Amino acid sequence: MNMLVHCPLGAQVLRARLGDAGDPFYCSPLAERFEGPARGGVPVLFPQFAEYGPLLKHGFARNRDWTLLEHGADAARERLHYVLEITPDDFPGWPHAARLELEVLARESRIDFSFTVLNTGDDEFSFTGGLHPYFAVNDLLQLRVEGLQGVAASDRYQPAFTRQDEPVLQFGEAIFERLYDGCPAVTLIEGSRRIRLSASGFDQWMVWNPGREEARKLKDLPDGDWRKFICVEPVRVKNLVVLRPGERFSGNFLVELEQGAG
């Protein structure tokens, strides 16, 4: 039984049917109408996070077709292994050689992501980036996020914000974009539904939602769907990754759902 819906463009996982635990991810129903990466699922961000650098927002890896090296499934699990080979001539402004790999293992109630970057060239390079998962919720205004208390953070729309003092993070109708300077395990809670997130290799969480007004500018998002997801992204931004020739970066991300939390 196939649990995963995925595509070679960006090696993007769009859906994950995890048995009785349900699908943790949101994917816009308008995604197929537009070219480029779908809004939703789990895009890969490389070699630049957002506008934190001179390149295209979120980098170029999500706009390239990756090669599916391995795909295996049985009644209990499904595994994907995608690879993207980059040469120094592929992208103006980033003249380096690298091998990117994304491995995904889905089992009932959990899904593991492993993202690796190998410097296959002769020169050192650096990058920022990570994964950009969209988590499905019934109503963002009822969602609570636990696990971030005491973590330093910067908020794009609240410059005076420097730390998460409250034990629970909640959301309103305004756009939300906050970069946490740490990557502790966090839990998304909505009624009886819980999604636990943990990561290694990545060292920050970005939490984002466009809010009511900004969502109207997103042509690939239906009216009102801003309330149906939250992005909690394992990333490397502040401490960029530096790789010498032959060195490798590995970032791991685990999503766990409670059984019966459909």
Query: Does position 259 have pLDDT exceeding 50, yes or no?
Result: yes
Query: Does position 262 have pLDDT exceeding 90, yes or no?
Result: no
Q: What is the pLDDT of residue 106?
A: 96
Which whole number is the average pLDDT over 163-187? Answer: 97
d(CA 203, CA 49): 13
Is residue 75 within a helix (H) or strand (E), and if so which, with residue range? Answer: none
d(CA 175, CA 87): 37
Amino acid sitting at position 196: R
Of the listed ranges 50-59, 70-79, 152-161, the least confidently predicted one is 50-59
Angle at 249 between CA 129 and CA 198, to 5 degrees: 65
- Tens of pLDDT, residues 107-131: 989 999 999 999 999 999 999 999 9
d(CA 117, CA 134): 22
- Tens of pLDDT, residues 18-65: 888 789 999 999 988 787 889 999 999 999 998 877 788 889 999 999
Which whole number is the average pLDDT over 90-94? Answer: 90
Region at 225 (left for phi over 0; alpha for psi -120 to 50; beta for the rest): alpha
Q: What is the pLDDT of residue 85?
A: 98
Percentage with pLDDT > 70 across the chain? 98
Q: Is the pTM higher than 0.85?
A: yes
Model confidence at 257, pLDDT cuts 50, 70, 90, reads very high
d(CA 73, CA 119): 30
d(CA 169, CA 171): 7
d(CA 121, CA 251): 20
Q: What is the pLDDT of residue 261?
A: 43
Of residues 188 and 93, the one with the higher pLDDT is 188
> What structural domains does the chain harbor?
4-257 (2.70.98.10)
Which whole number is the average pLDDT over 72-91? Answer: 94
Query: Does position 68 have pLDDT exceeding 90, yes or no?
Result: yes
Non-local (6+) Cβ contacts of 145 within 8 A are: 168, 169, 170, 186, 187, 188, 189, 207, 230, 232
Separation in Å, CA 231 to CA 20, 93, 180, 211, 228: 23, 28, 13, 12, 11
Of residues 22 and 203, the one with the higher pLDDT is 203
Model confidence at 1, pLDDT cuts 50, 70, 90, reads low
Average pLDDT over the chain, rounded to an integer: 94
